[in-house]
Structure 1
């Protein structure tokens, strides 16, 4: 059921002096680098739209970017990085801690966005006005024939603010009865998971092993693999196993158990693994001949050991995933509107409490997603019309 909202006309904010609340990340470092303050509302260019942010999910990537974990000079897990000052300093000094190029500090993070379109720059985009939307955070910047990509909140300003501007091509109206906070759990985690499931061509009857199944991406992967008819075995902490079974896992394995002993070698068709670290070799061992290992992360450590004989003698396929493929986001919108997936909202926080949210997020005691809620603006038309 689509929510009824007041119809409003296109706003011209090109000369507006109005400011908004935002969290500005000022550089590589700790929580002191997160500055909640007033900043100018972004001005639109051709084919862009302005979105009032209704909710913004919390992800590993925002923390990793702030800490400089994407630098090639960092070799530790994401959990350890907060205490490894030498590696953080190397990343900050060389400026290579971003996904593609140097991170554009200071800037606004926030990869997930559920919002409402409140202004457009081009006449052809007026059909989007006042729509409740999700934003596709991964943009294939050179078209679908190239894997080159840029990301909202990594390469340009994101959704940890009251407003964000994005290309109209990356905005997807969604018609459902989910809350704004529930929709805010979807873009990054489910987009990343669907991209991996899609690239690995998961099909009915496949045995899929999902590592880190209690996290945002892992719990999404469990649901999305089950949606395709796969048999899912999930790995998670002991205290979270029952909840992982409740979202669809057929079998669960405690994180510290020997997965080879539990499953046996050559027992799994596809491994979905954003954990890596010391468990990588065992993940390769449990794959069947012709199996696929797909990954978009390495939270337990980016450097792994691979016995090349396991790789080539079993005809394995290793699939790296960052750039989202064209069907991924339209697929997610259809799954939501058909009721084929459900959000896993762990907790919400006011945007100004981002430090509290990231601290609790890093403790990894939750299942699903944390979501930030910006200050609400009741009368958008009046707010955007202010000149001082």
Structure 2
């Protein structure tokens, strides 16, 4: 196959606002090294990690809520998920769906032509369970906001599905994050799970994946999105932040809170957990700094788990769920690559339900 030497790519030039993303029409196309594959990108999902890495929000120097704008002070030592430095220019974008069009040494050429989605955690292949030896696709290395991208062959999962590339590009980050949270919290069919921010990509995935486990799901979302969230399978949908959450829940007994929101409302979430309940967190879009009463924590025998690096088998499991029709995409909108700034602005505004995807 004759492949072009150049490609279109949206390149992030440094920490800051939307202006840091610049479209290049003649960016060098990457070539796969040993153990890698070259993917012609069909679609790439947009996630909070793209916004937060660009803005530098992951840095401990930042204590504000996610805004998508530039921050006055960003430490250059810890502005990524893994707390590592990031180098620019960088092609962001992690949730790739596309076709393998070339392979590097050591990769079976039979894989050329496969339709794949990406497993975005870049693990040490000799020590895959070591969380200290991980990076993230589109963060510590270039990702999928381009016509082509390279990734290790072991980080691609073949998928057989009638879903479009854009629909499949909603799964890798949001759904793996959600499944990781539910796994850490050991959610079963005996649980009732409260999901703040249920209209977002991760929140909506938590709703579906918790229901798949047989749990009862109570969702929090703005009232304009209640119909969309209910369609994902939530058993009850409440306003985003009820003044009296305990009263709003009625007789519901919450055993698990699966949270990506945080912020000022956070103490209310902890106060309604049943004794022995579990809180699992993989985000803090409303603000990372919260008021925490240790007495509630220990007197109620609560368990808190953070969830970032997912277990290696999660992506293979998600593809099985996709192919079996157990979970479905929540695709809010699709934008062409050149409109990625507009797509991010829409994403940041949070007026949509589900995921936003770009196509090259």
- Provide the residue aligned with 2:129 in structure 1: 145
Checking the alignment, whether the CA contact within 8 Å between 2:36 and 2:107 is kept in structure 1 is no
Please say if 1:118 is aligned against 2:107. no
Normalising by structure 1, we get a TM-score of 0.88
Q: What's the CA shift for 1:127? A: 3.1
Question: SS of 1:133's equivalent?
Answer: strand
Q: What's the CA shift for 1:95? A: 4.6
Q: 2:19 aligns with which of 32, 36, 43?
A: 32
- What are the Cα deviations for residues 248-277 of structure 1, in whole angstroms up to 9, with x where unaligned? 000111013132222269921111000011
Checking the alignment, whether the CA contact within 8 Å between 1:266 and 1:289 is kept in structure 2 is no
Please say if 1:335 is aligned against 2:321. yes
Q: What's the CA shift for 1:89? A: 3.0
Q: 2:40 aligns with which of 43, 52, 55?
A: 52
Q: What's the CA shift for 1:43? A: 2.1
- Provide the residue aligned with 2:262 in structure 1: 276
- Provide the residue aligned with 1:69 in structure 2: 57
Normalising by structure 2, we get a TM-score of 0.95
**Which moves more between the two structures, 222-231 or 194-203?**
194-203
Q: Distance in 2 between matches of 1:256 and 1:89?
A: 29
After TM superposition, which residue ranges in structure 1, 4 or more long, deviate above 4 angstroms? none
**Which moves more between the two structures, 94-103 or 258-267?**
258-267
Count of residue pairs brought into register by the alignment: 355
Q: Distance in 2 between matches of 1:189 and 1:155?
A: 19
Q: Distance in 2 between matches of 1:269 and 1:144?
A: 31
Q: Distance in 2 between matches of 1:265 and 1:73?
A: 41
- Provide the residue aligned with 2:280 in structure 1: 294
- Provide the residue aligned with 1:210 in structure 2: 195
Q: 2:241 aligns with which of 249, 253, 256?
A: 256
Larger Rg: 1
Checking the alignment, whether the CA contact within 8 Å between 1:265 and 1:285 is kept in structure 2 is no
Unaligned runs of at least 5 residues, structure 1? 1-7, 375-388
Q: What's the CA shift for 1:243? A: 1.3
Q: What's the CA shift for 1:126? A: 2.0
Q: Root-mean-square deviation (CA), in Å?
A: 1.7
Unaligned runs of at least 5 residues, structure 2? none
Q: Distance in 2 between matches of 1:360 and 1:275?
A: 18
**Which moves more between the two structures, 138-147 or 350-359?**
138-147
- Provide the residue aligned with 2:110 in structure 1: 127
- Provide the residue aligned with 1:96 in structure 2: 78
- What are the Cα deviations for residues 155-187 of structure 1, in whole angstroms up to 9, with x where unaligned? 100000001100111110000110111001111
Residues 169-208 of structure 1 mapped to structure 2, 5 A cutoff: 169-208=154-193
